Chain A
Amino acid sequence: MDLLTFVRGPGMQWAAAIFVVGILWRLVGILLLRGKKDLSEPRKPGWRGLRLLALRSWPRKEFLGGTAFGEIMGYTFHIGFFVALLFYLPHILFFEDVAKGLIGVNFKQVFGVGWPYLPGGAVYFFSAISVAALFAVLIHRIASPVKRMLSNFDDYFSWFVTIAPIATGMLAFSHFGGPYPTLLGLHLASVELLMIWFPFGKLMHAFTIFLARGTQGVTFERKGASL
């Protein structure tokens, strides 16, 4: 079986299954943990504390000196990545196929208009800036002695499985570096690697950030601390 047939067949099936098993394993494993019961009277009741999710989107003035670079690079990477992932037509076709299979309808059937997409060149630009941001943070990590000492396999491998799909996607789009079927096969293979690693490393922050910050915000609010 050649590469492209494999990654569009058994490879994707296994990667999707492992992705789903892993995500639910980790999330259920966290959510079912016993939390300490807080028997005190809440200073401010309810879920208003969730606004910490928005409040922590940008560092406080006092901390900007050390964190600005990471924050800016982080946003550049995430915005570039999500634009490329969600507004490029072939990706949209993939997700529509999954949606059709899981819930029976696609976006157009529900909302009347199709999910919008950008021209390929624009997506290429957004991919390029996210790759640039990833290289910037890697260099920053290796150059800083403290960060370098703190970095482990998870840090570097997660970086690799994140940059590989974006870089191979750019190569496939520009038909550069080999025959197109091989480039497309490598792109899908790198996506499947990302899906398999995702639940087991720090990439889970995609879900846990909401749990962690949300919990913290609600807890602080209960205690009457200012957010």
Chain B
Amino acid sequence: MTTLGDTLSASGVSRRAFLKFCTALTSLMALPPSMAPAVAQALAKAKRPSVIWLSFQECTGCVESLTRTNSPTLENLILDLVSLDYIETLQAASGFAAEEARQHAMKESNGQYLLLVDGSIPVADGGIYGTLAGESFVDMLQESAKGAAAVVAIGSCASFGGLPKANPNPTGARSVSDIVKDKPVINVPGCPPIAVVMTGVLAHYLTFGKIPELDAQRRPLAFYGETIHDRCYRRPFYDQGKFAKTFDDEGARSGWCLYELGCKGPITHNACATVKWNAGTSFPIQSGHGCLGCSEPDFWDNGSFYKALATADWGGAKAIGTAAAVGVAVGAAAAYAARKRQNRVSKEG
């Protein structure tokens, strides 16, 4: 494998342009600008690893989000930093030719390629709910992970199971880390993840050849270390007790905190409040809608998006009504037994 430095100078990219690219990359990876020379040094020597992207039970939202990245641009990413040997949505080849390209890449770079996965993996009924080219997703993932240096689970479906795993999980959807146990797995959750977060994580691995620091949920700390609430610009309103009560009321139009409208910012780790979406344009709270908590596990089953975090599922009127009936019945039975004892005692005494 040729180094990235060789590739760039061969394609006429000046050293100055390369240093600018490294400055942008350093900023993207949330590293201090003083590290740009180290990034440049590492990148110049970096080999262009083969990257294989497998899509399973997904909505393609993660790939869509990735195509909105602007730093580095997706073209840069594909052409310069990596050798993206297989990605169904974007590649030109199809059918047998595509599968052959994948097998070839895996054999050529055995032990060194980076496996990117989006979508969850169904395991119920022998895995028949997800198949490609005659192979189940489970088998495909296990086979592809064998020769990978590391696996990156892109999006909440691959990281935690996502929407397919939501109650009642009819297809037996599982996350990548549920299936791949013997390789390093990086989770980049979000529904979808922010574009520059995806490319930043990839850039980090490709530049330094190792996995960035991860939290307990295997998410890179650089982007998932803080909660939305920690960096939300509406925090002063939260602290002052100024909350929007309904959408489009006076408080909502004045930009007040969305806690009462179900914002899950306090328990959600992501970079939305700082990095934002679409090259720093906005993020859900800035646009007036509470955070859904989409980078946390099981966020689909965590109760209504529009009920405050302080509420919980207490069962509903029917369940409580049943409980009340049971309580009254047991109490009546207890009183009956007690009365019988009272009668017996008073008869004896």
Contacts and interface: CB of A to CB of B under 8 A. Distances in A.
Interface stretch (B124-132, B176-184, B300-308): B300-308
A4 B298 CA distance: 10
Contact of B308 (A28, A32, A93, A180): A93
Interface residues of A, number: 43
A25 B342 contact: no
Nearest to B313: A9
Interface string A93-135: 1100110011000000000000001011000000000000000
A7 interface: yes
Contacts of A79: none
Nearest to A11: B312
B227 interface: yes
Nearest to A104: B317
A93 B260 contact: yes
Main secondary structure, interface of A, reads helix
Contact of A180 (B227, B243, B314): B227
Given A34-B339, A89-B241, A180-B227, A25 B334 contact: yes
B332 A17 contact: no
A91 interface: yes
Interface string B294-333: 0011100111000111111111110110111011101110
Contacts of A119: 241
A119 B332 CA distance: 44
Contacts of A34: 339, 342
Contact of A28 (B241, B312, B319, B332): B332
B317 A101 contact: yes
Contacts of A8: 302-303, 311-313
Interface of A: 1-2, 4-5, 7-9, 12-13, 16-18, 20-34, 89-91, 93-94, 97-98, 101-102, 117, 119-120, 180-181, 184, 188
21 contacts: A5-B301, A8-B313, A17-B319, A17-B323, A21-B324, A21-B326, A21-B327, A23-B327, A28-B330, A29-B334, A33-B339, A89-B241, A93-B311, A97-B308, A97-B314, A101-B314, A101-B317, A120-B239, A180-B227, A181-B296, A184-B267
Pick the 10 closest A-B CB pairs, nearest first. A28-B331, A24-B327, A90-B310, A32-B335, A20-B323, A29-B334, A12-B312, A21-B327, A29-B331, A8-B312
